[in-house]
């Protein structure tokens, strides 16, 4: 009788230990974001939206938890824009329902090269506001990491990790955690996150975490999961080298679990993922099938409360069709081929490397090496030292080439090409005889070959109408892209002529020269200056939003389409606004919105002004305004077909609508002929009356004292010094040598408000450094200049 009692007691204990229950536990689940709104995360390469994934994970998680007896509250009821609740609203739902724990589901993103699991709780690493939240974070971190097999795992306090409290955790009156299960911008993981099975897999990990946290017991069943790949084919996107993500996953796979004849179908989202849940402990057989792959199988052993991974590589079904060449580069008869180019041959079937390389022919013979791409369907020949210039070559594949399956090629193929004989000018900005060029122009000259930097100095000149050399700043990184890019060190004079001489000796890295001289003439536009009340000087971000904030932004790469305050370029002060954009669609729109909007008033005599540093992208520039009826009014300024700073103006009389006008957005729209990638600086937004004189040239009174850098500098023997005074002042302008001795007095008289220019002749002085100093009222400024005979 005592023995029976012991058995019964032991049985009760065993049943108790194995039972899983979350009875009387109340959990709030928050699917992060909501709708495809501006704060959602979209990955164009895969079509992934974070709000979609978070929403499905939450809805897969809820029945898993309720089946265990838990009460589950989900913060949002759908995935429309209206469901994107404020962060504090989500927390208040948890507070009002007096839940035991709060969990916000997310995935992460950062430059597309990371894939770790991150848990966040309120507080610092060492001092969590709710110690239980740190405990839960540690449990869930390990479970998600184990299920997703991410590269690392972290459990951090939001204040330590981010430097601030998360808005969704801060108002909570109970323990709460936020999970960033994996990285949705790491493309292999982004494809996996497109799988409903993979989302269910994460939901299972989260469920297991709640059981462990609440001591709710262990699962009596196990799980089987894995990824099926083609071991011979490599993906064409970035992957972490220490993982297997470089091998291409198999689409539309079928995995059958035996015994039980349970079938799981994979999807066509380039992830190769499969998942079986609630599998009784024991030994099973998995049967793998996919179109164009050999049927295969694996044996697996399932353990209770554990995940068993059964990754599989499948062999392709032999294709006994004779292979053929489908394309080649260079194309047959192609001319002006780079001497540094590769020869590329594409086949329609995976090829046998050894026989195909042996069947490769090239005349005249050039030494080189072979490499293979695209699952061994692409043969690449790279010459060791390059081809000779202005020479015809013939290459091909003879009949000895065989496919991976041992079948000879259907017929031989032959191609010929001729290499380049000279460096060619492709485009230039400014174009020859262009007018109204900015005084801070960025000159961009493009060629059909990477430039030999050592040949530039003696083969290009930038001079003014008096043949004085203009000092420039050069973009040394542009040479490798076949471009020569430079800009004047100081603003060049307005309404003046300039010339760029390209000489025949300019050379590319292949040793080919330009072969002839080119002359590019252009004229600068009128000198411009601020004319009105400055509404935003862009010295700090006074409400400008990132492009992704606006629902109007579309067809862009969100990670590389940004707004920032930049100190790289500015009209006045220390900084300006910078829009960087990358269009991914032909009708892309990049909108940068300012909140609060700038009040411009009602006067139709005023003009809105904004300085813009163009990128010559040929995309459309728009300014968006709000009228008195709160209707959006679009002003099409025109095409961005310039470089350098220009003061752009919009007459208030040409802004649609009535009543008080407000400015709120700078918008760049992709034109058919526009560039996909570009950047636009802008500065000193203003409103005022612009006075027109001398036909179409505009002048205005300066709004501040200013002493400009002399031009040219260095000089020989004359140079011009410009200065501005905003009010009637007695002005003194003197020149000093390096020892502080006064050399010349250029100005010593009363001056009305305006901008002035004075010449200085140093013909009788020695070469060296000199200083010039202006004093006007309480204003004093000194600049340095260099005289070189």
CATH of the domain at 25: 3.40.630.40
Q: How far is CA 495 from the centre of its chain?
A: 38
Which tokens in the block code for residue 232? 């011979």
Residues (pLDDT < 50) of the chain are 1-18, 691-699
**pLDDT for the residue 401:** 98
Number of domains in the chain: 6
Work out the number of other CB atoms within 10 angstroms of the CB of residue 500: 21
763 lies in a domain? Answer: yes
602 and 676 both lie in a single domain: yes
State the residue range of the domain holding 408.
Answer: 325-419
Q: What is the pLDDT of residue 492?
A: 94
Classify residue 105: in a domain, yes or no.
Answer: yes
| Confidence (pLDDT) at 750 | 81
Q: Does a structural domain hold residue 753? A: yes
The pTM is what?
A: 0.56
Q: Assess whether 181 and 33 both reside in one domain.
A: yes
Three-class HEC string of 345-357: EEECCCECHHHHH
DSSP state of 235: -
What CATH number corresponds to the domain at position 339? 2.60.40.3710
Last residue of a domain, one of 213, 232, 256: 213
Q: Which of 152, 187, 213 is the last residue of a domain?
A: 213
Give the number of other CB atoms < 10 A from CB of residue 568. Answer: 11
pLDDT, one tens digit per residue, over 671-729 is 999 999 999 999 999 998 764 433 333 345 677 899 999 888 888 888 889 999 888 78
Task: Assign residue 45 a region (left: φ > 0; alpha: ψ between -120 and 50; beta: otherwise).
Answer: alpha
pLDDT at 259: 97
Is 480 domain-assigned?
yes
Predicted confidence (pLDDT) per residue in 164-219, tens digit:
999 999 999 999 999 999 999 999 999 999 999 999 999 999 999 999 999 999 99
Q: How far apart are CA 246 and CA 227, in angstroms?
A: 12
Radius of gyration of the chain (CA): 35
- 51 backbone dihedrals φ, ψ, rounded to 5°: -60, -35
Same domain, 256 and 367: no
End position of a domain, from candidates 213, 233, 250: 213
372 inside domain? yes
- 171 and 76 in a common domain: yes
**Do 619 and 599 belong together in one domain?**
yes
Q: Are residues 201 and 58 in the same domain?
A: yes
Residues 480 and 594 reside in one and the same domain: no
**DSSP three-state, residue 134:** helix
DSSP state of 206: H
Q: Are residues 517 and 551 in the same domain?
A: no
The answer to the question of residue 697 being in a domain is: no
Q: Are the beta carbons of 248 and 187 closer than 8 angstroms? A: no
User: Rounded to an integer, what distance in angstroms lies between the CA atom of residue 131 and that of residue 399?
Assistant: 73
The whole-number pLDDT of residue 674 equals: 96
Whole-number pLDDT of residue 700: 53
Strands 273-279 and 368-373: unpaired
Burial 46-67 (b: 16+ CB within 10 A, else e): bebbbbbbbbbbbebbbebbee
Same domain, 105 and 202: yes
The CATH number of the domain holding residue 574 is 2.60.120.260
- Does 7 reside within a domain? no
Q: What is the pLDDT of residue 81?
A: 82
- In contact, 614 and 638? CB cutoff 8 Å: no
Helix (H, G, I), strand (E, B) or coil at 672: coil
- Residue 6 inside a domain? The answer is no
Per-residue pLDDT at 701: 65
Share of the chain above pLDDT 90, in %: 83
pLDDT tens for 716-760 read: 888 889 999 888 788 999 999 888 889 999 998 888 788 888 889
Residue 95 and residue 189 share a domain: yes
Q: Which residue in this structure is represented by tokens 């239980």? A: 132
Same domain for 547 and 518?
A: no
Contact 205, 219 (CB under 8 A): no
How are beta strands 742-751 and 460-464 bridged, if at all? unpaired
In a shared domain, residues 104 and 197:
yes
């Amino acid at each position: 009788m005592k023995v029976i009692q012991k058995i019964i007691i032991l049985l009760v204990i065993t049943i108790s230990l194995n039972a899983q229950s979350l009875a009387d536990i109340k959990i709030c689940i928050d699917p992060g974001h909501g709708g495809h709104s501006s704060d959602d995360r979209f990955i164009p390469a895969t079509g992934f939206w974070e709000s979609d994934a978070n929403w499905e994970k939450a809805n897969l998680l809820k029945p898993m938890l309720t089946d265990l007896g838990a009460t589950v509250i989900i913060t949002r009821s759908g995935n429309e824009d209206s469901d994107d609740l404020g962060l504090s609203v989500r927390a208040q739902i948890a507070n009002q329902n007096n839940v035991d724990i709060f969990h916000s589901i997310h995935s992460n993103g950062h430059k597309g090269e990371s894939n770790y699991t991150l848990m966040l709780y309120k507080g610092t690493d060492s001092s969590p506001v709710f110690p239980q939240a740190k405990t839960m974070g540690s449990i869930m971190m390990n479970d998600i990491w184990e299920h997703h097999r991410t590269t690392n795992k972290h459990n951090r306090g939001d204040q330590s990790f981010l430097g601030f409290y998360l808005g969704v955790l801060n108002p909570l009156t109970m323990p709460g955690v936020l999970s960033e299960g994996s990285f949705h911008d790491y493309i292999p993981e982004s494809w996996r996150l497109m799988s409903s099975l993979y989302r269910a897999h994460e939901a299972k990990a989260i469920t297991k975490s709640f059981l462990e946290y609440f001591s709710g017991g262990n699962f009596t069943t196990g799980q089987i999961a894995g990824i099926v790949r083609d071991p011979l084919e490599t993906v064409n996107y970035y992957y972490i080298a220490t993982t297997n993500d470089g091998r291409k996953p198999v689409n539309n796979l079928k995995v059958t679990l035996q015994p039980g004849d349970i079938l799981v179908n994979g999807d066509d989202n380039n992830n190769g993922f499969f998942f079986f849940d609630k599998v009784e402990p024991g030994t099973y057989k998995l049967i793998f099938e996919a179109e164009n792959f050999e049927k295969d199988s694996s044996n697996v052993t399932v353990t209770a409360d554990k995940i068993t991974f059964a990754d599989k590589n499948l062999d392709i079904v032999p294709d006994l069709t004779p292979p053929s060449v489908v394309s080649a580069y260079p194309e047959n008869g192609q001319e002006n081929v780079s001497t540094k180019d590769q020869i590329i041959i594409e086949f329609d079937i995976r090829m046998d490397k050894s026989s195909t390389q042996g069947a490769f022919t090239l005349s005249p013979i050039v030494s080189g090496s072979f490499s293979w791409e695209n699952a061994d369907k692409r043969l690449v020949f790279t010459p060791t030292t390059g081809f000779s210039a202005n020479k015809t070559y013939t290459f091909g594949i003879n009949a000895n080439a065989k496919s991976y399956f041992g079948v000879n090629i259907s017929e031989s193929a032959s191609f010929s090409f001729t290499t380049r004989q000279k460096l060619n000018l492709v485009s230039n900005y400014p174009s020859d005889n262009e007018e109204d060029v900015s005084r801070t122009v960025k000159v961009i000259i493009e060629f059909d070959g990477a430039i030999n930097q050592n040949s530039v100095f003696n083969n290009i000149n930038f001079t003014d109408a008096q043949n004085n050399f203009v000092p420039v700043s050069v973009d040394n990184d542009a040479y490798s892209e076949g471009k020569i890019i430079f800009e004047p060190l100081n603003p060049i004079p307005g309404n003046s002529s300039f010339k760029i001489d390209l000489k025949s000796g300019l050379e590319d890295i292949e040793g080919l020269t330009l072969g002839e001289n080119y002359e590019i003439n252009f004229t600068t536009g009128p000198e411009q200056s601020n004319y009105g009340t400055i509404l935003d000087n862009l010295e700090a971000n006074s409400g400008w939003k990132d492009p992704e904030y606006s629902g109007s932004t579309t067809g862009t790469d969100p990670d590389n389409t940004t707004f920032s305050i930049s100190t790289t370029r500015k009209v006045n002060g220390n900084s300006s606004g910078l829009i960087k954009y990358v269009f991914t669609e032909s009708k892309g729109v990049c909108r940068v919105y300012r909140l609060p909007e700038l009040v411009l008033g009602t006067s139709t005599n005023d003009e809105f002004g904004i300085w813009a540093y163009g990128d010559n992208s040929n995309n459309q520039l728009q300014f968006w305004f709000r009228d008195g009826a709160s209707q959006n009014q679009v002003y099409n300024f025109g095409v961005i077909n310039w470089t350098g700073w220009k003061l752009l103006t919009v007459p208030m009389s040409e802004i649609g609508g009535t009543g008080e006008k407000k400015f709120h957005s700078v918008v760049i729209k992709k034109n058919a002929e526009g560039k996909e990638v570009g950047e636009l600086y802008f500065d000193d937004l203003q409103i005022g009356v612009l006075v027109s004189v001398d036909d179409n040239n505009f002048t205005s009174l300066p709004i501040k004292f200013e002493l400009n850098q002399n031009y040219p500098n260095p000089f020989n023997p004359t140079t011009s010094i410009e200065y501005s005074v905003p009010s009637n002042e007695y002005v003194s302008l003197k020149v000093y040598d390096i020892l502080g001795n006064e050399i010349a007095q250029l100005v010593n008289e009363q001056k009305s408000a305006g901008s002035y220019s004075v010449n200085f002749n140093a013909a009788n002085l020695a070469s060296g450094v000199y200083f010039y100093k202006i004093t006007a009222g309480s204003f004093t400024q000194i600049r340095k200049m260099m005289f070189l005979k």
